[in-house]
Chain A
Amino acid sequence: DIVMTQSPDSLAVSLGERATINCKSSQSVLYNSNNKSYLAWYQQKPGQPPKLLIYWASTRESGVPDRFSGSGSGTDFTLTISSLQAEDVAVYYCQQYYTTPRFGQGTKLEIK
């Protein structure tokens, strides 16, 4: 099993400031034949199902604001929110789909 570890577990950022969440996989999720990392990011607000934000580590899902961006390759990944908005308060999860899927433990993002 590929284990996903996120850091930090929680994060408080001021409105308009940058938020950065990290995700590390216990093995590489980069498929060499297509040079894609099988890594996704999801946002979950209270009482709602998760929402896909990013897949292939850096491809933004349709309709996702461009303040959300993903980066990284292999085993180390980052989700960045360039200018935090009030509606971005949520728990964020990374997930690998290279093998049987596994989610990180989640990072709770709050307003400072």
Chain B
Amino acid sequence: QVQLVESGGGVVQPGGSLRLSCAASGFTFSNYGMHWVRQAPGKGLEWVSFIRYDGGNIYYADSVKGRFTISRDNSKNTLYLQMNSLRAEDTAVYYCAKVTFASGDYVSSSGAFDIWGQGTMVTVSS
């Protein structure tokens, strides 16, 4: 079945780095754009980043721009999020999510988020 499994979360000190991974299965990963979304404890959903199906057209939320880097390896069916210069306010569960429509060039043409992983917790604390 269609599945996304995140990994790489943990506890890191402020200013530190972490790389999250999202392993995809059950669909043709290279045809679909992907998102990262985070949720701070007890809070709502915050979109983080998008990458087009082929690795082009990358977007970031202002809150992470310049610190986080999204990438993908279509040969490994895996999505990544490199997080640098981490801050306490980055503490959250991080979800990867698949878009609804294949081959979308932009966020709008890719549609809503139809499959989500279970999430991986990132805690930034000294």
User: Chain A residues in contact with chain B, CB under 8 A?
Assistant: 31, 38, 40, 42, 44, 48-52, 55, 61, 91, 93, 95, 97-106
Contact = CB atoms under 8 A, between A and B. Distances in A.
A60 to B, nearest CB: 12
B47 A49 contact: no
Given A55-B100, A55-B112, A101-B107, A49 B118 contact: yes
B119 to A, nearest CB: 6
A99 B44 CA distance: 19
Contact of A50 (B50, B59, B110, B116): B116
Could you say which of A38, A52, A98, A106 has the most chain B C-beta atoms within 10 Å of its C-beta? A52
Contacts of A31: 108
B14 interface: no
B116 A51 contact: yes
Interface string B96-125: 000010000001101111101111000000
A25 B110 CA distance: 20
A52 B114 CA distance: 6
Contacts of A93: 44-45
Contacts of A50: 37, 45, 95, 113, 116
Could you say which of A93, A97, A99 has the most chain B C-beta atoms within 10 Å of its C-beta? A97
